[in-house]
């Protein structure tokens, strides 16, 4: 609990990186905050103003000319212009997928008939990935014979003989296509027409618009899932064979585009693989479950309904879940291949390891993937190509990301009064893409090609290769990420900023007091105030603090150090908020410690017996804004709030919760704010650099969609603790609060993304405000926030030069220094689609697509948004199939190697609570999750959509057990599993879990004695217990929010919540299983191709 109580540690970055010995390149410190470690302010060795060695003093170079105007444009006060026009959805007309009925029939686990027919030898799935196109239907000639040539790139070919869904006669098999078993009728009938009556009768849980015919993918009652029993016997989980047959690294696979003929044997045989391609490899992937024998699969009541179409049940083939692309396999393969070597950023267009892989990054001229991840590292040269492929071109940028301890934080570069060197035309900052010419006297901009004079103080000679001889001594010439000290030109009103302030607003209405929240906040603040952010760990924080309590009136407190007791000032006229005191409101913690402690002791007592239930909210923000204005500084408001603000005041809200609107065309209104009041207030907040973090403790609807407007527009965060109970939720709340108060952040920030000629940043996603089309304004920007940027072509790109982007964030540090953090990124450009498909990052694509969709539900019916996403992904995959894959039967689903998980992840997005809510999810929760996703990085969105499910088998050694796929059929009744969603942790206990296991974890051998209400595990003195608690701690430390632990006993009520996250299964709210969705995608792709 006392994680933050240790004294601030010395910066681990005391030693400059070799090559940057100059004092002015002292590394920016800032410890890697372990979970909630103190923020070790940076720059212990930072010496402002020291000129670079060997240069005459900058004083003689008043190079305003260089660092001129655009700067002030950047930091100019807000122009509340028209909102950024939304670009049209990237996809054309949505297609209803009415033949989706299949998905309703099959539930995740294998059907009974399938399991009966399931034979003994399940070929190791992973073998398939090691080669090119895989043919998966039954016994096949070995690969080389079949195709004779290697397809142009790694492909995952899925022979889905059971998936002949399309219209028209069943075509005869092409090469590699195995005809379906003789008894197999055209399945199209089964899918399109033959939804069994038992399903179609089931009423959808969500009311649809009466004008719409019930599309078959509408949520349906779960006919099967409720009664499912668990598979008998041990599950396949960790024991699943994942031989070392990982695909060769992508880079090894750079084949020329087009239908290049490459003998398959050119590929090095993979470890664990026999030479050649044993026949059983074919047929493993996507093999219709049939000819295998001996697999005693689980039996699921209700499954007999599947196949009720014209096809005789035994012949009804469905895909073997083990034969379709497995997220676990891909994650493990990437780990095996990419975690041992550091990822160096020097090679342009290199796709980084997956976010699930632990790897070290060495900055060699491009920003680390911890700062920037791209959807595509090989951008199409033309807009036509981009449009054809439908692959989104975007970057997910986390400008202030915290780095692991073994990586160097961006260095601070100080060019003194002259400020950073910039291109005269486009104002890009000095970076490795600037080409020095004419003996070093001028440089040509990599972004706009303009030639700019090198100011004399920055001149240096070039070596024989044209490189400056000091290239490796200067971060801005050799690294992807660094910071400049900004001059006064970069400050608001040309005035150096004041240190920021934190103001705490505590709701003291009846509910807030009764839940225990008020007491907990006041107790915690007494210690937490010693851990306010600071840059120099040795020094005190310069952040000033202030305190307000409120219900329907506001109470300001004078905590001036000279007072013996705090003084309260009540403002009961909240219609026109003003600050009743200036002196003594914002104070230094150390100076006023006694008065502050006294206040925090008194607040819970003062309001202990309150009867006031009503609250205001608008005036609270206004008061904070006025306080920061009066102090002429930026800062952050921490608002602890409990209820819908219904008291008479500006920003008063009414309860508009109406679940009947869900699923209708009016659903979007539920995500829009009730009024424009909070949007207008946000603009004022952003102009002042007033960031708002909102901690909600609701017992009922509070309208998160409206209350969240200010936090979301100011770079703040919303935390939500529904039905908060001090006993069980205290730990989660306190850990969130501690982290939130201490985390490294910048204030009053403006971000601009510059690009080289040919592409342009056109759209932005995240928590910020924009008053024009280029500048992202963030009242606050913390280390967890990402800004996602979409790019569009405005001209042709060149394969020779590639495409460049430079993200510059101007911000005020927590010590009040104005800085510019610069991240540079170069990617390749391609004229062949195959190159695009070879260098994509599916996790980032999903991050982008989901943000796009979550934003679009503000303006578009949710169903349209979902259809649009499916259509876009079908187009992406169809374009690949048409242009990059080798010719093969239409019955084959062929997926690009690095996008083979696109269908499974897309399905998870479609099934998410925001886009396809279950009956039990509140509108507030949906609004909350919608806002939360908008600033998630790729690692967070990955686990949010595809949680991590760990079987707790052997926990010896330092490594984690291998995860299993998120499906009920992977759970063993005899096991215990840990599920991490990024927001929650679940410990699922099978009804037949071994006694020893239970004793080790819970201290009791009896299942029935386990208390499902525990939120932390008992600290038992055995290695298993210790290791499990270590794992839980380490998971928590990796996430920006504390994950509360929930123990779920099999067949308890709470299991429904847990099952909700088993995202490969059909969901209670009607979301398709992975298998069914893959079939559906296949059909969509075929339609596009026909």
Task: With contacts defined by CB under 5 A, name the span among 439-447, 477-485, 687-695, 932-940 that binds Zn ion.
Answer: 439-447
Place of tokens 């498909």: 837
Q: Which of 898, 853, 847, 844 is nearest to 872 (CA)?
A: 853
**Nearest approach, Cβ of 542 to Zn ion (angstroms)?**
36
**Nearest approach, Cβ of 808 to Zn ion (angstroms)?**
13
Residues in contact with Zn ion, total (CB under 5 A)?
A: 8
Q: Is 336 in the site for Zn ion (CB under 5 A)?
A: no
**Nearest approach, Cβ of 454 to Zn ion (angstroms)?**
14
**449 or 498, CB closer to Zn ion?**
449
Q: How far is CA 939 from CA 171, 448, 805, 896, 945, in A?
A: 43, 33, 22, 22, 10
Q: Which two tokens stand for residue 318?
A: 């469905």
**431 or 520, CB closer to Zn ion?**
431
Task: With contacts defined by CB under 5 A, name the span among 366-374, 424-432, 1022-1030, 1050-1058 that binds Zn ion.
Answer: 424-432
**Nearest approach, Cβ of 755 to Zn ion (angstroms)?**
11
**67 or 445, CB closer to Zn ion?**
445
Q: Is 450 in the site for Zn ion (CB under 5 A)?
A: yes
**430 or 849, CB closer to Zn ion?**
430
Q: Binding string to Zn ion for residues 370 to 409, with x set by CB under 5 A, is what?
A: ----------------------------------------
**447 or 556, CB closer to Zn ion?**
447
**448 or 630, CB closer to Zn ion?**
448
Task: With contacts defined by CB under 5 A, name the span among 204-212, 421-429, 545-553, 730-738 that binds Zn ion.
Answer: 421-429
Report long-range pairs for 571-578 (Cβ below 8 Å, ≥24 apart): 571/623, 574/616, 574/619, 574/647, 574/649, 574/650, 575/649, 575/650, 577/619, 577/622, 577/623, 577/626, 577/650, 578/626
Give the separation between CA 531 and CA 693, rounded to whole angstroms: 17
**Nearest approach, Cβ of 453 to Zn ion (angstroms)?**
13
Place of tokens 């989104």: 392
**137 or 806, CB closer to Zn ion?**
806
**412 or 759, CB closer to Zn ion?**
759
**Nearest approach, Cβ of 446 to Zn ion (angstroms)?**
8
Distance of CA 1040 to the CA centre of its chain: 11
Buried b (16+ CB within 10 A) or exposed e, 700-734: eebbbbbbbbbbbbbbbbbbbbeebeeeebbebbb
**426 or 644, CB closer to Zn ion?**
426
Task: With contacts defined by CB under 5 A, name the span among 147-155, 444-452, 644-652, 903-911 that binds Zn ion.
Answer: 444-452
- The answer to whether 165 touches 99, Cβ cutoff 8 Å, is yes
Q: Is 445 in the site for Zn ion (CB under 5 A)?
A: yes
Reduced to 3 states, what is the DSSP secondary structure of residue 11? coil
Task: With contacts defined by CB under 5 A, name the span among 335-343, 420-428, 663-671, 891-899 that binds Zn ion.
Answer: 420-428
Task: With contacts defined by CB under 5 A, name the span among 243-251, 447-455, 628-636, 651-659 that binds Zn ion.
Answer: 447-455
Give the separation between CA 103 and CA 100, rounded to whole angstroms: 6
Give the separation between CA 869 and CA 788, rounded to whole angstroms: 18
**64 or 425, CB closer to Zn ion?**
425
**450 or 953, CB closer to Zn ion?**
450
**Nearest approach, Cβ of 434 to Zn ion (angstroms)?**
9
**Nearest approach, Cβ of 926 to Zn ion (angstroms)?**
44
**Nearest approach, Cβ of 447 to Zn ion (angstroms)?**
4
Pairing between strand 378-380 and 818-830?
parallel
Give the separation between CA 899 and CA 896, rounded to whole angstroms: 5
**Nearest approach, Cβ of 445 to Zn ion (angstroms)?**
3
- The answer to whether 528 touches 740, Cβ cutoff 8 Å, is no
Q: How far is CA 19 from CA 23, 27, 360, 478, in A?
A: 11, 12, 19, 11
**Nearest approach, Cβ of 945 to Zn ion (angstroms)?**
38
Q: How far is CA 243 from CA 210, 265, 630, 964, in A?
A: 52, 20, 65, 15
**Nearest approach, Cβ of 428 to Zn ion (angstroms)?**
5
Report long-range pairs for 169-175 (Cβ below 8 Å, ≥24 apart): 171/889, 171/890, 171/891, 173/889, 173/891, 174/887, 174/888, 174/889, 174/890, 175/146, 175/147, 175/888, 175/889
Continuous segment of H or E residues that includes residue 1025: helix 1023-1038
**Nearest approach, Cβ of 680 to Zn ion (angstroms)?**
36
Hey, how many other C-beta atoms are within 10 angstroms of the C-beta on 355? 22
Q: Is 430 in the site for Zn ion (CB under 5 A)?
A: no
Task: With contacts defined by CB under 5 A, name the span among 64-72, 449-457, 743-751, 1015-1023 that binds Zn ion.
Answer: 449-457
Give the separation between CA 763 and CA 852, rounded to whole angstroms: 10
- The answer to whether 738 touches 4, Cβ cutoff 8 Å, is yes
- The answer to whether 675 touches 72, Cβ cutoff 8 Å, is no
For 786, phi and psi rounded to 5 degrees? -115, 155
Q: Which of 348, 305, 354, 311 is nearest to 331 (CA)?
A: 354
E strands along 289-375, which residues? 343-344, 361-362, 372-374
Q: For residue 159, is it left (φ>0), alpha (ψ between -120 and 50) or beta? A: beta
Task: With contacts defined by CB under 5 A, name the span among 36-44, 426-434, 976-984, 1051-1059 that binds Zn ion.
Answer: 426-434
**756 or 883, CB closer to Zn ion?**
756
Q: Is 423 in the site for Zn ion (CB under 5 A)?
A: yes
Q: Which of 149, 448, 606, 770 binds Zn ion (CB under 5 A)?
A: 448
Give the separation between CA 933 and CA 765, rounded to whole angstroms: 10
Task: With contacts defined by CB under 5 A, name the span among 443-451, 720-728, 771-779, 927-935 that binds Zn ion.
Answer: 443-451
Q: Is 429 in the site for Zn ion (CB under 5 A)?
A: no
Task: With contacts defined by CB under 5 A, name the span among 405-413, 448-456, 685-693, 989-997 that binds Zn ion.
Answer: 448-456
**Nearest approach, Cβ of 431 to Zn ion (angstroms)?**
10
Q: Which of 359, 447, 677, 946 binds Zn ion (CB under 5 A)?
A: 447
Q: How far is CA 1010 from CA 106, 407, 729, 949, 1003, in A?
A: 34, 43, 20, 21, 9
Task: With contacts defined by CB under 5 A, name the span among 158-166, 193-201, 437-445, 630-638 that binds Zn ion.
Answer: 437-445
**425 or 984, CB closer to Zn ion?**
425
**425 or 467, CB closer to Zn ion?**
425
Q: In degrees, to the nearest 5, what angle opens at C-alpha 436 toward C-alphas 435 and 437?
A: 115
Q: Which of 273, 330, 376, 426 binds Zn ion (CB under 5 A)?
A: 426
**448 or 1014, CB closer to Zn ion?**
448
Handedness of CA 651, 656, 662, 668 (dihedral sign): negative
Q: Would you give the DSSP letter of residue 1065?
A: S
**Nearest approach, Cβ of 440 to Zn ion (angstroms)?**
18
**387 or 425, CB closer to Zn ion?**
425
- The answer to whether 36 touches 735, Cβ cutoff 8 Å, is yes
Q: Is 434 in the site for Zn ion (CB under 5 A)?
A: no
**Nearest approach, Cβ of 805 to Zn ion (angstroms)?**
13
Q: Which of 393, 396, 395, 390 is nearest to 873 (CA)?
A: 390
**343 or 447, CB closer to Zn ion?**
447
**445 or 750, CB closer to Zn ion?**
445
Task: With contacts defined by CB under 5 A, name the span among 177-185, 281-289, 413-421, 446-454 that binds Zn ion.
Answer: 446-454
Give the separation between CA 367 and CA 786, rounded to whole angstroms: 14
* Contacts (CB under 5 A) with Zn ion, residues 682-741: none
**Nearest approach, Cβ of 425 to Zn ion (angstroms)?**
5
> Where on the chain is the footprint of Zn ion (CB under 5 A)?
423, 425-426, 428, 445, 447-448, 450
């Amino acid at each position: 609990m006392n994680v933050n109580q240790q004294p601030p540690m010395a910066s681990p970055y005391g030693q400059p990186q070799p090559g940057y010995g100059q004092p002015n390149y002292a590394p920016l410190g800032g410890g890697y905050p372990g979970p909630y470690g103190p923020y070790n302010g940076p720059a212990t060795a930072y010496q402002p103003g020291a000129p670079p060695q060997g240069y005459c003093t900058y004083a003689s170079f008043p190079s305003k000319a260089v660092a001129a105007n655009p700067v002030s444009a950047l930091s100019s006060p807000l122009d509340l212009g028209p909102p950024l026009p939304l670009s049209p959805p990237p996809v054309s007309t949505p297609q209803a997928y009415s033949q989706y009925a299949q998905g309703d029939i099959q539930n995740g686990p294998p059907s009974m008939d399938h399991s009966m027919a399931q034979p003994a030898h399940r070929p190791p799935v992973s073998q398939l990935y090691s080669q090119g196109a895989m043919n998966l239907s039954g016994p096949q000639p070995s690969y080389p014979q079949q195709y004779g040539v290697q397809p142009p790139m790694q492909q995952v070919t899925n022979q889905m003989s059971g998936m002949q869904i399309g219209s028209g006669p069943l075509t005869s098999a092409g090469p590699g296509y195995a005809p379906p078993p003789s008894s197999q009728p055209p399945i199209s009938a089964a899918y399109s027409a033959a939804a069994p009556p038992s399903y179609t009768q089931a009423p959808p849980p969500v009311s649809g618009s009466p004008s719409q015919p019930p599309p078959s993918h509408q949520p349906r009652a779960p006919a099967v899932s409720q009664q499912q029993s668990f598979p008998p016997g041990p599950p396949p989980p960790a024991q699943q064979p994942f031989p070392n047959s990982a695909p060769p690294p992508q880079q090894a696979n750079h084949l020329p585009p087009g239908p290049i003929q490459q003998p398959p044997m050119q590929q090095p045989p993979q470890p664990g693989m026999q030479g050649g391609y044993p026949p059983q490899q074919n047929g493993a992937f996507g093999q219709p479950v049939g000819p295998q024998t001996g697999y005693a699969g689980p039996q699921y009541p209700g499954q007999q309904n599947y196949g009720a179409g014209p096809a005789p049940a035994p012949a009804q083939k469905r895909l073997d879940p083990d034969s379709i692309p497995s997220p676990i396999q891909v994650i493990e393969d990437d780990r095996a291949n990419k975690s041992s070597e550091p990822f160096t950023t020097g090679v342009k267009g290199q796709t980084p390891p997956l976010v699930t892989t632990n790897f070290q990054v060495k900055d060699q001229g491009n920003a680390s993937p911890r700062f920037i991840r791209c959807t595509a590292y090989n951008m199409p040269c033309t807009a036509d190509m981009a449009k054809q492929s439908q692959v989104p071109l975007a970057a997910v940028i986390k400008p202030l990301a915290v780095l692991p301890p073994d990586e160097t934080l961006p260095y601070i570069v100080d060019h003194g009064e002259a400020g950073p060197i910039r291109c005269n035309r486009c104002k890009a900052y000095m970076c490795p893409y600037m080409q020095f010419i004419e003996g070093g006297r001028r440089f040509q901009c990599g972004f706009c090609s303009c030639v700019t004079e090198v100011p004399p103080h920055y001149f240096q000679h070039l070596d024989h290769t044209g490189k400056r001889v000091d290239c490796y001594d200067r971060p801005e010439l050799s690294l992807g990420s660094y910071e400049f000290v900004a001059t006064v030109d970069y400050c608001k009103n040309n005035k150096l900023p004041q240190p920021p302030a934190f103001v705490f607003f505590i709701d003291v209405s009846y509910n807030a007091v009764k839940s225990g929240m008020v007491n907990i906040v006041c107790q915690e603040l007494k210690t937490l105030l010693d851990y306010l952010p600071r840059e120099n760990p040795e020094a005190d924080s310069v952040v000033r603090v202030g305190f307000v309590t409120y219900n329907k009136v506001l109470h300001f407190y004078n905590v001036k150090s000279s007072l013996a007791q705090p003084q309260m000032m009540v403002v009961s006229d909240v219609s026109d908020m003003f600050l009743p005191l200036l002196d003594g409101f914002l104070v230094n913690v150390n100076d006023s410690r006694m008065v502050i402690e006294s206040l925090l002791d008194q607040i819970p007592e003062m309001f202990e017996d309150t009867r006031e239930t009503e609250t205001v909210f608008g005036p609270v923000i206004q008061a904070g804004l006025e306080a920061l204005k009066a102090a002429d500084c930026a800062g952050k408001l921490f608002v602890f709030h409990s209820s819908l603000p219904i008291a008479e005041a500006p920003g008063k809200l009414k309860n508009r919760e109406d679940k009947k609107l869900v699923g209708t065309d009016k659903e979007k209104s539920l995500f829009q704010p009730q009024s424009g009041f909070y949007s207008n207030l946000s603009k004022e907040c952003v102009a002042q650099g007033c960031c708002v973090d909102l901690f909600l403790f609701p017992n009922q609807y509070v309208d998160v969609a409206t209350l969240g407007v200010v936090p979301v527009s100011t770079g703040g965060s919303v935390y939500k603790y529904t039905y908060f109970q001090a006993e069980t939720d205290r730990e989660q709340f306190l850990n969130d609060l501690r982290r939130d108060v201490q985390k490294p952040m910048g204030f009053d920030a403006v971000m601009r993304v510059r690009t080289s000629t040919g592409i342009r940043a056109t759209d932005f996603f995240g928590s910020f405000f924009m008053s024009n089309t280029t500048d992202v304004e963030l009242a606050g920007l913390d280390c967890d926030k990402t800004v996602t940027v979409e790019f569009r072509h405005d001209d042709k790109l060149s394969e020779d030069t590639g495409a460049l982007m430079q993200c510059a964030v101007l911000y005020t540090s927590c010590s009040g220094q104005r800085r510019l953090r610069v991240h540079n990124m170069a990617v390749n450009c391609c004229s062949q689609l195959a190159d695009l498909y070879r260098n994509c990052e599916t996790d980032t694509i999903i991050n982008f697509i989901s943000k796009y969709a979550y934003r679009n539900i503000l303006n578009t019916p949710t169903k349209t948004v979902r259809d649009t996403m499916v259509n876009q992904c079908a187009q992406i995959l169809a374009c690949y199939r048409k242009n990059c894959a080798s010719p093969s039967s239409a019955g084959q689903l062929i997926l690009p190697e690095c996008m083979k998980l696109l269908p499974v992840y897309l399905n998870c997005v479609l099934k998410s609570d925001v886009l396809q809510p279950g009956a039990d999810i509140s509108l507030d929760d949906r609004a909350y999750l919608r806002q939360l996703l908008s600033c998630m990085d790729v690692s967070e969105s990955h686990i949010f959509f595809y949680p991590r499910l760990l079987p707790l088998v052997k926990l010896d050694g330092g490594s984690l057990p291998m995860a299993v796929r998120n499906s009920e059929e992977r759970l063993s009744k005899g096991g215990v599993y840990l599920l991490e969603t990024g927001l929650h942790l679940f410990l699922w206990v099978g009804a037949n879990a071994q006694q020893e296991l239970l004793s080790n974890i819970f201290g009791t051998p009896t299942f029935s004695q386990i208390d499902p209400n525990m939120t932390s595990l008992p600290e038992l003195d055995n290695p298993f217990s210790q290791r499990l608690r270590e794992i839980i701690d380490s998971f928590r430390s990796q996430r920006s929010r504390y994950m509360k632990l929930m123990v779920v006993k099999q067949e308890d009520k709470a299991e429904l919540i847990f099952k909700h996250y088993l995202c490969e299964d059909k969901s209670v709210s009607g979301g398709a299983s992975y298998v069914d969705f893959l079939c559906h995608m296949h059909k969509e792709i075929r339609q596009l191709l026909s």
